[in-house]
Amino acid sequence: MLHIYPTGWKELAVTGAAAREIETLTYLESRLADTPYRIYHGVHWTNVENGFSAYGEIDFIIFAPTARILLIEQKSGFLNETPDGLVKNFEGKPRKIRHHITRSISGLRERFGGELSIDYLLYCPDYIVRDPHLADIDPRHIIDATRKDQLAQVIRVTLPLTHDKPGEQFEKVTRFLGNTLSLRPDPSAMIGNAAEMVTRLAGGLAIWARRLEFSPFRLRVIGTAGSGKTQLALAEYTAAIEAGLRPLYVCYNRPLADHIERLVPAGGRVATFHMLSDAFLRFQGQTPNYAAPDVWRDIERQMATAELPEAWRHDVLIVDEGQDFSVAWRDILLRMLKADGRAIWLEDPNQNLYGREVVPLPGWVTLHSDTNYRSPRQIVDMLAAIGAVSPPVEAGSPFKGADIDELVFPHTDTEAMLAQTKHAITLCLAAGFARHDIAIATFRGRERSAILKLDRLSDAHTLKSFMGAYDLFGDPVYREGGLLAESVYRFKGQSAPAVIFTEIDFDMIDELVLRKLFVGMTRARLKLVMVLSERAQQQLLERM
């Protein structure tokens, strides 16, 4: 079976020559899939020559079980045939291709420090070599545009396969290529690529949804996780500020409101419904008595009937997490919107964790967005397999994602669950994710979670988690720690490159379980580790 190193090459956001090399990798993967070759691409190393660092580059290394190596130098675009051989212009300067190849071979041998069986090919898929004798390269080692469909066959001939088992030399060269050249993908670079690509893909909703024209502008967007709802909200809010208008953004979760507050320009209002209610009553000169049994019913009644001063009327209303809102909340918020204002209501039925009825919005235009651009395809496929999405969600992410790790514990053993959660952190760190790239999301709410009551999982793993209290300025009080830990309820609306979804335990799968699984799993942008009980794992296996 063919192996390509480093992995993650299909997800890279590249242009120019790099894009052409990705095309070549795609071709080689399809034509050599049945072989045990190992392909190393984009190999870079450093040597010290005469007191200076000299950087070498090889586009592809094909390594066979016989321990023989084939270097492939790819030159896309136009080449020059000169009396000194084939030349490629780099930044306006001509560089001899033969010199580059021989230097690469020499550098690889010197770095290895022993005998290496190396052959080479020049692959120029866009250029036809007119006079091979001027190339200064043996014509048998040139694959030009006339023969580019023969590249895979030439590789097979150059590196013949045998039925012999790989020997000591094979193991030695394998360690050299894998370790010395450090051919593991850089997660920090992948995180940057992921964020950039997902933002670009999901940003389409923000572009064409805002081009719709109808009056009054009342738009309901039913969009799955990662479909671009946040980008739409940010674009609408920012456009309102730039136009000199006053936007109001309201969501259900406090962490989401705090996150949005950090992203938008000043001049509008961002709040949860409860924060908005508290601010309104205090504006009226009242201090809510949250110890009273019917306090929220009384607050809603006042907000629904009290006279609204001009300072509480807005030009744009954005409701996020609309699946968690009630009809009463809808009416209160629409009172705060000017008659000619714009309103966007964003919701995802699959993230309805509180069992609320769908809020009717008569007369509103409805837009469905069922493509998840954020979650790796493996996550979307697993959610579909267990029936956690309705209607079906399309996987729009260019990332397949790492395999979903599952760590199991007996459902009555809290210590085993904590130990497996610590192991999950080790897996993420070993994969190259930094602590600030990792988030722990628990299947349980804060009151029932064992993890969210802890300051640390170990001396090395301190936790940053909400303590259930607020300071004098109304900001949530968190434990100080290096790893963010939240309940699945509070982490809804946010995401992280690597997510450890823990304390997953249930003895049967119902609608709420499926929704919690959907929310927790779709928080991961690149890597997901699930820490689940034996009985929960068995329930999932029976549905897949």
| pLDDT at 378 > cutoff 60 | yes
Geometric angle at alpha carbon 353, from 525 and 476, rounded to 5°: 75
Bigger pLDDT: 93 or 401?
Answer: 93
And the tokens for 333? Answer: 């918020």
Residue 416: Cβ within 10 Å count: 17
Of 150-164, 174-188, 237-251, 285-299, which range is least confident?
A: 174-188
| pLDDT at 475 > cutoff 90 | no
Contacts of 61 (CB under 8 A, 6+ apart): 39, 40, 41, 43, 69, 70, 71, 72, 177
- Where helices occur in 248-293 by DSSP H, the ranges are 254-263, 273-283
| Per-residue model confidence as pLDDT tens digits over 321-335 | 999 999 999 999 999
Report residue 257: phi and psi, to 5°: -60, -40
Bigger pLDDT: 419 or 57?
Answer: 419
How far is the C-alpha of 167 from the C-alpha of 174, rounded, in Å? 11
Contacts of 432 (CB under 8 A, 6+ apart): 184, 185, 186, 187, 188
Length of the chain measured in residues:
544
How far is the C-alpha of 238 from the C-alpha of 73, rounded, in Å? 48
Q: 47-56, 200-209, 275-284, 427-436 — which one is most confidently predicted on average?
A: 275-284
Of 394, 399, 333, nearest to 361 by C-alpha is: 333
Helix axes of 295-305 and 327-335: crossing angle, nearest 10 degrees? 40
| Per-residue model confidence as pLDDT tens digits over 380-419 | 999 999 999 888 888 887 676 667 899 999 999 999 999 9
- Please, what are the domains in the chain? 3-183 (3.40.1350), 189-372 (3.40.50.300), 397-543 (3.40.50.300)
In this structure, the strands spanning 93-96 and 85-90 are: antiparallel
| Per-residue model confidence as pLDDT tens digits over 223-246 | 999 889 999 999 999 999 999 999
Confidence at residue 187, expressed as pLDDT on a 0 to 100 scale: 53
| Per-residue model confidence as pLDDT tens digits over 496-544 | 989 999 999 999 999 999 999 999 999 998 899 999 999 999 999 998 8
Confidence at residue 526, expressed as pLDDT on a 0 to 100 scale: 87
And the tokens for 375? Answer: 């979650």
Of 108-122, 384-398, 463-477, which range is least confident?
A: 463-477
Confidence of residue 493 (pLDDT cuts 50, 70, 90): confident
pTM of the model as a whole: 0.67
Confidence at residue 55, expressed as pLDDT on a 0 to 100 scale: 37
Confidence at residue 50, expressed as pLDDT on a 0 to 100 scale: 38
Rounded to an integer, the average pLDDT of 412-430 is 93
**What Cα–Cα distance (Å) separates residue 95 from each residue in 16, 87, 98, 100, 138?**
19, 5, 9, 8, 18
Average pLDDT of the chain, as a whole number: 86
Decide: 384 and 372 in contact? Cβ < 8 Å. Answer: no
